[in-house]
Amino acid sequence: MRKTTRSAFAAACAALAVTAAACGTTSENTGQAQPQDPRQSCGGPDGKYTIGMSQANLAEPYRVRMDADIRKAAEQVPQFEDVQFSDAGKDNAKQVSDVESFLTKQVDLLMISPNEAAPLTDVVRKAYNSGTPVVLLDRKVNGDAYTTYIGVDNVDIGRQAGEYFKDVLFPDGGKILEIRGLSGSTPAGERHDGFMQGIEGSKIEIIGQGDGDWERSLGQEKMDALLKAHPDAQAVYSHNDPMAEGAYLAAEAAGRAQQLKFVGIDGLPIEAGGIRSVEQGRLQATFLNPTGGEEAVEAAKKILVDCRPTEKKQTLPTELITKENAGEVYARLNQG
Partner 1 sequence: MSEQTHEREASPSAPEPPRGPSRREVAETLFRFQSFFGLVAVFLAAIVLSPRGDDGQILFLTSDNLFNIVRAVSEIGIIAVGLTFVILIGGIDLSVGSVLGLAAVGSAVLLVNDDFGVLLAALLVLLIGLIFGVLQGAAVALLGVQAFIVTLAGLNIARGLARMWSGGETVQISYGDGEGQAPMLFSLLGERTFGGVVPIPALIFAVVAVAAILFLRYSAYSRHLYAIGGNEKAARLSGVPVNRVKIVAFALSGFCAALAGIVHAGQLNAGSPNDGLAYELDGIAAVVVGGTSLAGGRGSVVGTIAGALLLGILNNILSLNSVDTDMQLLIKGLVIVAAAALQRLRPTA
Alpha carbon of residue 37 to chain centroid: 28
Nearer to partner 1, 12 or 331 (CB): 12
| Cα-based angle 301, 304, 305 (whole degrees, multiple of 5) | 65
Smallest gap from Cβ 134 to partner 1, in A, equals 18
Nearer to partner 1, 31 or 38 (CB): 31
Amino acid, single-letter form, for residue 300 = A
Three-class secondary structure of residue 328 per DSSP: helix
Smallest gap from Cβ 63 to partner 1, in A, equals 12
C-alpha atoms less than 13 angstroms from C-alpha of 56 in its C-beta half-sphere: 19
Task: Dihedral sign for Cα 250, 241, 215, 175, please.
Answer: negative
Smallest gap from Cβ 263 to partner 1, in A, equals 25
Nearer to partner 1, 18 or 271 (CB): 18
Nearer to partner 1, 67 or 295 (CB): 67
Nearer to partner 1, 9 or 328 (CB): 9
Smallest gap from Cβ 188 to partner 1, in A, equals 10
Residue 36 CB neighbours (<10 A): 20
Nearer to partner 1, 54 or 318 (CB): 54
| Cα-based angle 308, 311, 312 (whole degrees, multiple of 5) | 125
Cβ–Cβ under 8 Å, residues 68 and 293? yes
Smallest gap from Cβ 273 to partner 1, in A, equals 22
The site for partner 1 (CB under 8 A) is made up of 1, 4-5, 7-9, 11-12, 14-16, 18-20, 22-30, 58, 84-87, 89-93, 96-98, 100-101, 103-106, 116-119, 121-122, 142, 183-184
Residue 77 CB neighbours (<10 A): 17
Smallest gap from Cβ 93 to partner 1, in A, equals 7
